[in-house]
Structure 1
Amino acid sequence: MEDFEKKLSITEAMEVEENGSDSTKIIHLLRKFLGIQQRRAETYAKLKRGFSEYMVSGGELAYQQLCSEITVEFNDCSKQVIEMESLFMHPDYCRVDLAKILRAVQTQEKQKLHLTATIQMLKKAGRPSERLVSHENCRYRKAAEHECLHLHEITEATGTEDAEANAEYDNALKEAIRGVQDAVTAINEHLEEIRYEIAALETE
C-alpha cells in the first residue's frame, strides 16, 4: 500500500511538472523536500524513543529491529532527495543553487546520523568506571561466595588510568553531541533558505 502511495505521489509530482509553470514545479519539489525533512525528524524521534526504551529494558532484539527499520527509512529519504537534486540540475529547471542546498542538507544529515549512532554506542557501553563486571571466569568455593578475579589493589596508576579512560569517554560523548547540534543548526539554516525561496516564488 505504501509503495502504491509513493508511486501515486511521484505520478502527481510528474503531472505538476508537466502541466505547471516553472515556479509552480519548483515550489512543488521544494514542498516535497520539506515533507521529507519532516519525515526524517519523525524518524529521529522514533529512534530516540526506541533507544530510551532499550536503555531501560535492555531488549536487544527490539532495538536491532528498530535500527533496521530506521535505516530503511533514512535510505528512502536520501534516495528521494538525490532524485530531486538531479532534477534541479536538469536543463528544464536549471537551478544549481537549489541542488547545492539539497546536497548540503544531505551531507549534514549523513553526519548527524553517524554521530547519533556514535552517541548511542557510547551510552550503550557506559563510562569505563561504571561498566558492569562479568563474573563468569571467577573461582567459586561455595555457591554463596566466590573469589573475584576482578578485585585488585587500587593504586595511583590504576586510578589515573580509570580517570583518563573516563575523561576520554566524556570528551568523545561531548564531541559527538556538539557535532549533532552543529549539523542540526546547519540543516535548519538550509531549510530556512528553502522556505524563503518558496515565499519568493509564490509572490512572483
Structure 2
Amino acid sequence: MICPKAIVILSGKRKCGKDYFADLLSNKLGCENCDLVRLSAPLKKKYAEIHNLEYKRLLDSSSYKEAYRDDMIKWGESEREKNPEIFCHLASEACKTDTWIVTDARRPTDIEYFRSHFPKKTLLIRIHSSDKTRRERGWVFKMGVDDAPSECALDTGIMWDIVIDNTIDISSDDLDKVCDRLEQISHK
C-alpha cells in the first residue's frame, strides 16, 4: 500500500451518483493518477468465496447483486462487529497511487479509519440526489436496506467538506472545487 497524498471519501444514498461522480473526478485527475477504492469490493469478494457466487456480478448494479444484498449486508455487519476496519484495510491494501477516491463510505467507522490512519489527507464529500431522481435511475425503496445502517449511518452527525447536488447533474464547478481542495490537501 502506498501512503496517499489525498483521499476523497464519497458518501450518499443508493442511486445518488457516487460512482458517476467518482468516474468524472477520476477522469479529470487522470485515471492513472488515482485509485477508485470500493470498500464493498473486499466484502463482496469474501462473500462470493464463502457462498460460491460470481464475485464480478456482485460488483455491478444487477438483479444478481440485489438477490444477495440483504444477506450480504447482514454478513458484512457481523464481520464489522468483529473488526470495524476490516473492509477499509483490505480495500486500502490494493491502492497503487497517491490519490484515492473512496466511492462508497457508508458508516462512521469508514470515515474514522481514513481520518485516523491518514490524518489531514481526507476530503469528505456527500453526494445528494432527490428521491424522484433516484427513482428515475432505478432506485426502489427496500425495507431492511434503505433504512439500515449501510444506507443511513452517515445521514447525520458528519461535517462534510463539500456537499454536491446531483439531482440534475454534476457541474464543472463542483469538480473544480474538489480538485482545488485536493491540491490544498496534497501539499499539507
Tell me whether the two structures share a fold, i.e. TM-score over 0.5.
no
Higher helix content, 1 or 2: 1
Kindly indicate whether structure 1 or structure 2 has the higher relative contact order, using CA contacts under 8 Å at least 6 residues apart. 2
TM-score by structure 2 length? 0.29
Q: Which has the larger radius of gyration?
A: 1
Higher strand content, 1 or 2: 2
TM-score by structure 1 length? 0.27
